[in-house]
Amino acid sequence: MNAASLTTSGVDGLAAWIAPERTAVLVIDMQVDFASPEGVLGGYGVDMSVVEPALAAAKRLVSDARSAGAPVIFVGLFTTPENDSPAWNERLRRRGGNPETDAALCRAGTPGASFYGPRPVEGELVIEKARYSGFLGTDLDARLKGLGVDTLVVAGLTTECCVDSTVRDAFNLDYHVFVVTDACAAYEADIHAASLKVMELNTAILTDGSAVAAAWKRAG
């Protein structure tokens, strides 16, 4: 099935499911080190042009959410030497890296951890995490429950890693999860597609930014 076909029986059905009073938008790891040519991965030669369409789509999604009155929550990776666990560092070593000399991703307090593309405005919630999932070791679940949210509309980087990890945990915590396919990206197209297919099969409904915008417009 395609992305739109699973979202509901058309715009009216989607509008009910993602009504602003029950829904939050999660923007995951759209940060300099993951998305900008000036970040750590860009410095290693990763082609950041592949994520530019997702950044643009996420900016539109965030603007639409603000207009509709749905809360927008920014989830980011903020690492420190203290939360680089032995398992975290050993995995890097086994892949040929060196945690003592390699540049760390999204170090708290550095430009690399800054949000890139869509950015939070005053009053919007920012969740700082130290692992892939936005729920692990954070108060995201409690914050969402405090807002009366039971449904998530998700955008972010990268599709197969922090987006997938957060979506899995959200589903296991009994949230209704909608992944905005054009507002997510991986650095390789086949990985992005495969991850979306797995999420569609197991944990999420796939949609796109235009469908979400139309649903919120209808709800308004």
Check if 184 is active-site.
Answer: no
Peptide bond into 23 cis (omega under 30): no
Active site residue 29: yes
Amino acid at 109: G
Catalytic site includes residue 59: no
One-letter amino acid of 104? A
59, 64, 106, 162: which one is catalytic?
A: 162
| Separation CA 180–CA 58 (nearest Å) | 9
Q: In whole angstroms, give the CA distance from residue 175 to residue 141.
A: 10
Facing residues of 157 across strands? 185
Contact between residue 155 and residue 27 where contact means Cβ atoms under 8 Å apart: yes
Phi, psi angles (nearest 5°) of residue 206: -90, 140
Given the residues 59, 64, 106, 129, the one annotated as active site: 129
Write down the catalytic residue from 29, 164, 169, 208: 29
> Cβ distance 106 to 158 under 8 Å?
no
Q: Which residues are catalytic?
A: 29, 129, 162
